[in-house]
Amino acid sequence: MMYKKILPILASLMLLGGCSATTTQEQPNGHKEPTSSVISVAPKTATKEADVDYGSVQDKEPTESLCESVLTPSVLKQLGGQVSYNGNGSFIVANNDPNITVTSTTKAYAKEPPIAANQQLQKAVALLNHSTYQGSNRSQTSSDGHSNSSTIDPPGWHQMKLLSSPYSELYNRGHSLGYALVGNLPGFDASEANPDNISSQTAWANQADGGSQGDGQNYYEGIVRDAIKSGETVEYSVQPVYDGNNIVPSGSEIEAKGIGNDVSFNVFVPNVEPGVAINYATGLASIQTGKATVTSSQASATSASKSSQATNADSNFATSKRVVYVASKGKSNAYWYNENDMPSDTNRANVVTMTEAQAIAAGKHHSEDEK
């Protein structure tokens, strides 16, 4: 398999503190591969302003500046300070050299510590082989037809419809260890209801599988999935990376190293969505088209209390183009971010959508019953 062709190891160092231009070549399968590389992204100071090009919700792939917007000093430090944009939406870490410590190189297993008290997922590590691969869907493999299909709302889950977007909604329940990789491992909860394995991950970061979509987690999982499906053994780890006390990760560092095969990569997939500005402290988001000037201090959470963060987030996004839901054909005084949070006796046929700015202009308020 051509794993190394897809993930070339970056060999030449650039000047410190800057970024070189990256050119791309279009491959026959539509996957753009960089012909030159950026080794270090200049660290952002707490007050430095930067123009972020959010692109549009209609885009299949985020812009480079949107991807770089999550690389705050804290995130860069956790990644070891050396990252390079791969030209396809994600970043190469530490010259693509994985650094995984496994407890066994023969017996398949998966380990992930419990979610931390600050609601941040911990690093997940696994030894994967053909015995862990799951090719069936959840309902087919669960004993009662339902258990593997159960779900939870992970920290920061404020779902948002994305009209005209190829992804339709902002968030997926993103696995650290994907269902196809560990779904056949006895004793491991690979459902979307495992709080130690599920985070609020953008649809792009979760679903993008290469080509015109760019390289999301699904793309890198696909490399490992193909390897173990064919009988190979792979050491694998996923570390959700958070900025400060944020409850939504800025992205995930994904590492894989084949045993007796050429699977090898160390990458960072930013948790971004084209055309959307996300407050990672709360999970609230707004539609943002084109360029906007932000500071890294705006993008980074501090040690402020959760109640203060939520209040600030509501203020920041109150006049946005975010789509909200209103009952009684729009006559209700309250609006909801997530239609699923509305009372069970709500007549769904009479629920209408509008932007949050329109709702506020009409004198409506965010429902106090929605977390």
Read off the pLDDT of residues 108-133 as tens digits, 9 standing for 90 and up: 999 999 999 999 999 999 999 999 99
Position 141 scores a pLDDT of 59
- Of 31, 130, 158, 175, the active-site residue reads 175
Q: What is the CA radius of gyration of the chain?
A: 21
Which tops the pLDDT comparison, 344 or 143? 344
Question: Of the candidates 280, 302, 323, 309, which has an alpha carbon nearest to the alpha carbon of residue 155?
Answer: 280
Q: Which helix (H) or strand (E) holds 310?
A: helix 306-317
Of residues 330 and 319, which shows the higher confidence score? Answer: 330
- Average of pLDDT values for 207-229? 96
Q: Where in the chain is the domain with CATH 3.40.570.10?
A: 109-160+171-270
Q: How confident is the model at residue 149 (pLDDT cuts 50, 70, 90)?
A: low
| Whether residue 158 lies in the annotated active site | no
Please check the confidence at residue 75 and state whether its pLDDT lies above 50: yes
Yes or no: say if 14 and 42 are a contact pair by the CB < 8 Å rule.
Answer: no
Give the pLDDT score at 320.
53
pTM of this prediction?
A: 0.72
Q: Please report the sign of the dihedral spanned by the C-alpha atoms of residue 184, residue 90, residue 267, residue 222.
A: positive
What is the bridge-based pairing of β-strands 334-336 and 365-366? parallel
pLDDT at res. 140: 60
| Rounded-to-integer distance, Cα 194 and Cα 71, Å | 28
What is the pLDDT of the chain when averaged over all its residues? 80
Q: Is the pLDDT of residue 317 over 70?
A: no
Residue 41 has pLDDT above 50, yes or no: no
The predicted pLDDT at position 241 comes to 98
- B/e letters for 165-189, b = 16+ CB within 10 Å, e = fewer, are bbbeebbbbbbbbbbbbbbbbeebb
> What is the homologous superfamily of the domain 109-160+171-270 according to CATH?
Extracellular Endonuclease, subunit A (3.40.570.10)
Residue 313: other Cβ atoms inside 10 A: 19
